[in-house]
Amino acid sequence: MRLDIEAGLDELVRRSYRNLQDAETVMERNSIIRTIADLKAKKSKLLGLDMPSKVTLEMEQALQLLHTQPDPVWGAD
């Protein structure tokens, strides 16, 4: 499902760039540029790229801690 949405967003960005080439007024260009920026922001959110780096670092540290602790059920490896 994520791949379908990502592909759809990519197609909309491609079409927007084509429309940008055909834009005749500054108003049209600005509108299309805003559309492209919004689409790219949606793709970033879809891929999790909008996650703050601090949260990412904390998650990585938590995973490292989990991997260094012995398994609570089976004990040490």
Instruction: Please report the pLDDT score of residue 34 as a whole number.
Output: 92
| Mean pLDDT, all residues of the chain | 81
Q: In this model, does residue 55 exceed pLDDT 60?
A: no
**Cα separation, 16 vs 37, whole angstroms:** 10
Q: In this model, does residue 65 exceed pLDDT 80?
A: no
Domain ranges of the chain: 2-51
**Cα separation, 4 vs 7, whole angstroms:** 5
Instruction: Please report the pLDDT score of residue 25 as a whole number.
Output: 92
Instruction: Please report the pLDDT score of residue 36 as a whole number.
Output: 93
